[in-house]
Amino acid sequence: MTTELVAHDRAAPAWSIPRYLEARDGRLHVSGADAVELVRKFGSPLYVFSEPRIRSNVARLVGAAESADRPVRFCYASKANSNMAVLKAVLDARIDIEVNSGGELFKALRAGFRPDQIIFNGTSKTGDELDDAVGAGVLSINVDSVYEIGLVEAAARRTGRRANVTLRLVPEIGTRSHIGLQTALLTSKFGITHSEVQGAFRRALTNPDLLNVAGIHIHVGSQTPDVEPFAEAFRAMWSHLVELHRETGHTLSHINLGGGIPVNYLRDRSQADQLPQAEREMLGASLEPSEVFKAVMKIARESARTAEAEHLLDRVTILLEPGRSVIADAGVVLTTVRNIKQRPETGDVWLLTDAGFNLLLSMTTYNWYYQLVSASRADAPPDTPYKVAGPLCDSGDVYFDIEGGGRLPDYRNLPAGVQPGEVLALLNSGAYTLAQSFPYNGRPLPAAVMIREGGRADLARRRDTYEDLLTSDIW
Ligand SMILES: Cc1ncc(COP(=O)(O)O)c(C=O)c1O
């Protein structure tokens, strides 16, 4: 028995995750569902999500929070993936939700989240969106500027409901993530600066019948590989909470650390050496969420003691808004090789798939690395380099760094002899993919399936039809 297990482990591909992502009988299986069969049944390309993996990702976060001695609430950042079946899986995993628009608010409510489970973020909220959020009675509206305080007051007046508000701080904290994913720099568009925030709090406290000033918020960015930015963010928020109490007597009830817990996109490091070091460290981040809580609570306790403000900490709930860490590695994009060509001049073999950057936008905007494996021959050695590209009519629709910056491998390693019809899988692609997809080049958006415990595949999104391409056009 033991020998068998060892032998199996030795043969398992480096990307595999026991009981979730496995090579079985030579084919990729997602939570027990055969990926090639899924494509046969639901078509290609196909988004595949795993409910058991979502649940275990949530359990990992919730378990990590046990090391904090304050109550912690997780509000899933639905921007990462707001497919209704995904929202339902998150709801069933018993955490709360963060929305970034009226549309995401609508979807969260429709999925069954109670208003008091919902945080509303955004830089450019409209009056209608604020009316919907305040009228519903959400847990918090995270206010992005001093000006917006007046907008929320107006919504509270219109709807006849007191709004819970949190001020978003932009504290000038850098991270080692992609610059497009850093959100706490003064050069980023978000939040209220250190110098403004106490004034903003005083302004928000002027109409207590309209606003309940509940908390302070920072989001340092996505895919943050280190603990320090979270710790620094907490320290910054805590000092403002203490100062606010000292100046006004007002106590905040929550500190919101935002999202950004990273995902390890390089569990299989076979092509990691081809990425620049900074990219490798960011994408291969192994930061444990429990480390974040330990660091934050250490600062919290020390700072509370120094400021003789332990009683303030005792009233605080810590909020987090994880997106990527819930859904990224719970999703796979399946794609089929549709065409092949060999360039005599370069000797390159090109594989042309049916999944372009309209389905995985980050691959082109941020040169994001999604590992590509063969789903049809999941345990064949990936020993042959290929140029791989999608179906769109742009030279930028490729699985390598078109600008030659080396931020993606120039070639993808797959088994020898890939032919049209072979199903490939882009791993760790559950976050910021379907949510950012668009039907460019008249390509109807793909179907999505949710794999349940035991391997049953439920349709989570029907494939768009050509008729869907016309639904909003008027002629
Ligand atoms: C305000 C806010 N919270 C949470 C998130 C989720 O971040 P992540 O998916 O990295 O956890 C984002 C995304 O950037 C965000 O803008």
Query: Per-residue confidence at 7, pLDDT binned at 50, 70, 90?
Result: very low
CA distance 374 to 426: 9
Give the lowest-confidence range in 105-119, 266-280, 421-435. 266-280
Mean pLDDT computed over 221-249: 94
Residue range 145-158, pLDDT digits in tens:
999 999 999 999 99
Residue range 63-107, pLDDT digits in tens:
999 988 899 999 999 999 999 999 999 999 999 999 999 999 999
Q: Which of 190, 219, 263, 433 to mutate to test the pocket of ligand 1 (most atoms within 8 A of CB)?
A: 219
- Burial degree of 269 (CB within 10 A; 0-12, 13-18, 19+): middle
CB atoms inside a 10 Å sphere around CB 325 = 27
Task: Please check whether residue 62 is in contact with residue 95, taking contact to mean a CB–CB distance below 8 angstroms.
Answer: yes
Mean pLDDT computed over 256-267: 96
Mean pLDDT computed over 335-340: 98
User: Which two three-digit tokens encode residue 273?
Assistant: 């050496």
Domain ranges of the chain: 11-50+331-470, 121-322
- Listed in sequence order, the residues at least 6 apart from 81 whose beta carbon sits closer than 8 Å to its beta carbon are 49, 323, 327, 331, 430, 431, 432, 433, 434, 435
Query: Per-residue confidence at 229, pLDDT binned at 50, 70, 90?
Result: very high
- Our answer to whether residue 393 is catalytic in this structure is yes
Question: What's the mean per-residue pLDDT of the chain?
Answer: 95
Q: In this structure, which residue's CA is closest to atom 7 in ligand 1?
A: 259
104 lines ligand 1 (CB under 6 A): no
324 lines ligand 1 (CB under 6 A): yes
Q: What is the pLDDT of residue 366?
A: 93
**Closest-lying ligand 1 atom to the alpha carbon of residue 168:** 1
Q: What is the pLDDT of residue 8?
A: 45
382 lines ligand 1 (CB under 6 A): no
CA distance 363 to 243: 43
**Closest-lying ligand 1 atom to the alpha carbon of residue 223:** 10
Name the class of domain 121-322. Answer: alpha beta
Set 393, 442, 471, 473: catalytic member:
393
Quickly list DSSP for 247-297. HH-----EEE--S-----TTSS-TTGGGS-HHHHHHHT----HHHHHHHHH
Q: Which of 73, 79, 327 to mutate to test the pocket of ligand 1 (most atoms within 8 A of CB)?
A: 79
Q: What is the pLDDT of residue 176?
A: 82
Residue 10 has pLDDT above 80, yes or no: no
Residue 183 Cα, ligand 1 centroid: separation in angstroms? Answer: 9
- Burial degree of 335 (CB within 10 A; 0-12, 13-18, 19+): buried
428 lines ligand 1 (CB under 6 A): no
Residue 359 has pLDDT above 50, yes or no: yes
Mean pLDDT computed over 375-379: 97
List the one residue out of 25, 20, 27 whose CA is nearest residue 334: 27
Q: What is the pLDDT of residue 140?
A: 98
Q: Report the DSSP pairing between strands 211-217 and 33-34.
A: unpaired
322 lines ligand 1 (CB under 6 A): yes
Residue 251 has pLDDT above 70, yes or no: yes
Burial per residue of 59-83, b for 16 or more beta-carbon CB atoms within 10 angstroms, e otherwise: ebbbebbebbebebbbbbbbbbbbb
CA distance 204 to 207: 7
Give the lowest-confidence range in 4-8, 213-217, 218-222, 281-285. 4-8
Q: In this structure, which residue's CA is closest to atom 14 in ligand 1?
A: 222
Mean pLDDT computed over 164-182: 88
Q: What is the pLDDT of residue 363?
A: 96
Residue 77 Cα, ligand 1 centroid: separation in angstroms? Answer: 6
- Give the CATH fold of the 11-50+331-470 domain: Lyase, Ornithine Decarboxylase; Chain A, domain 1 (2.40.37)
Residue 2 has pLDDT above 70, yes or no: no
175 lines ligand 1 (CB under 6 A): no
Residue range 110-147, pLDDT digits in tens:
999 999 999 999 999 999 999 999 999 999 999 999 99
Mean pLDDT computed over 36-55: 98
